[in-house]
Amino acid sequence: MAILWIMVLVLVVTLLALAVLLKGVLGAARSITPVVTAIDGVAAAASRDLDAVIALVTTQNYISQVVAGLANYGGSLDAALPDA
Amino acid sequence: MELPVAIILLLITLIVLALAVFLIATIVELGKINAGLASVLDGVGEIATKTAPVNGVLDAINGTLVAGRNLLEGLALKKAGPDAAGLVESCFPGEGQRFLARIGRSGTIVPFGEDYPRGAAILGSLLGGPAPPSPGEAQAAAAAAPAAPRSGRISLRKPSPAAVAPPTVPGRLSAKGSRPWE
């Protein structure tokens, strides 16, 4: 009979320990969900912000034109100004 | 059935129930996390796709700008000679030493401040004034002159008298008048 009561005691302790541990796991899992949702929002916003990146191609084109104009201007200066 | 046996059975049932409830709840949360991460992955994929050409475009822009800078520095070196580093330093404070390093030279850099007398003299000579001083003379004059306020750009706001005077050659173009086409 005594061993049965010991088993009862062990099972009670086991139940409490399991409850605490599983509650911790569930709490950790629940805390991840809002973080993932927030990251999702940030990623979507960052993706929207990057829509303007395509304008870099236009910038590249403009810079090429500016440098080409600069080269022409430099050629004129080279012809107009005396060398050192 | 004895009381301890009944309690044991009850406790085992409770343990199984607790395991089931908590594990099912955890599975549900992990499912939500999985769905959220899938959505994040889509966003990150979009970001990666949109930023993929940035490196190439920026490299091309940098290459073009470096070519333009080299061209202007070469022109400055050809036209201003030893004054070139001082001119670069006057336009972009701190850049003169790097300019010298790029062209493989060393020496003291004398910034000209806002006015470059030789440049003004060249402008004057183009308009019929006396010949400009040599680059070395201009640098020596700049070194001997009191420090002028540096605003980081070169201006020729004080043209030489030759530049202000009417041109000696009739019909020659001038910034101050004698516009033959009018």
- Half-sphere exposure at residue B88, Cβ-oriented, CA atoms within 13 angstroms: 26
Is A82 within 8 Å of B122 when comparing Cβ atoms? Answer: yes
pLDDT at B65: 94
What is residue B108's predicted lDDT score, i.e. its pLDDT? 84
A70 CB within 8 Å of a chain B CB: yes
Q: Is B129 on the interface with A (CB under 8 A)?
A: no
User: Reduced to 3 states, what is the DSSP secondary structure of residue B177?
Assistant: strand
Report how far residue B60's alpha carbon sits from residue B65's, in angstroms, rounded to the nearest whole number.
9
Under 8 Å CB pairs connecting chains A and B tally to 140
Q: What type of residue sits at position A57?
A: V
Over chain B, what is the mean pLDDT? 78
Q: How far apart are CA B32 and CA A24, in angstroms?
A: 18
Nearest to A26 among B25, B44, B50 (CB): B25
Q: Cβ-count burial of A55 within 10 angstroms (0-12 exposed, 13-18 middle, 19+ buried)?
A: exposed
Q: Which two tokens stand for residue B117?
A: 């007398």
Neighbours of B35 (CB within 10 A): 14
Question: What is the reported pLDDT for B120?
Answer: 84
**Nearest chain A residue to B64, by CA:** A64
Residues from chain B that touch A84, judged by Cβ atoms under 8 A, are 77-84, 134-135
Confidence class for position B138, pLDDT limits 50, 70, 90: low
For residue B119, how many other CB atoms are within 10 A of its CB?
20
**Average pLDDT over every residue of A5-17:** 93
Round to whole Å and give the CA distance between A44 and A53.
Answer: 15
- Within 10 Å of residue B136's Cβ, how many Cβ atoms? 13
Q: Tens of pLDDT along A25-72?
A: 999 999 999 999 999 999 999 999 999 888 888 999 999 999 999 999
pLDDT digits (tens, 9 = 90+) for B27-44: 999 999 999 999 999 999
Residue A24 near chain B (CB below 8 Å): no
Which residue's entry shows tokens 């201003």? B80
Q: Report the complex ipTM.
A: 0.74
pLDDT at B167: 45
The SS3 assignment for B174 reads strand
Range B57-80 average pLDDT: 92
Q: CB-based contacts of B125: which residues, under 8 Å, 6+ apart? A: B131, B132, B162
Higher pLDDT, B157 or A81: A81
Best residue in A1, A7, A20 for a mutation probing chain B (most B CBs within 10 Å): A7
A19 touches chain B (CB under 8 A): yes
Say what the pTM is: 0.61
Find, among B57, B78, B58, B80, the residue nearest to B132 by Cα: B80
pLDDT at A59: 93
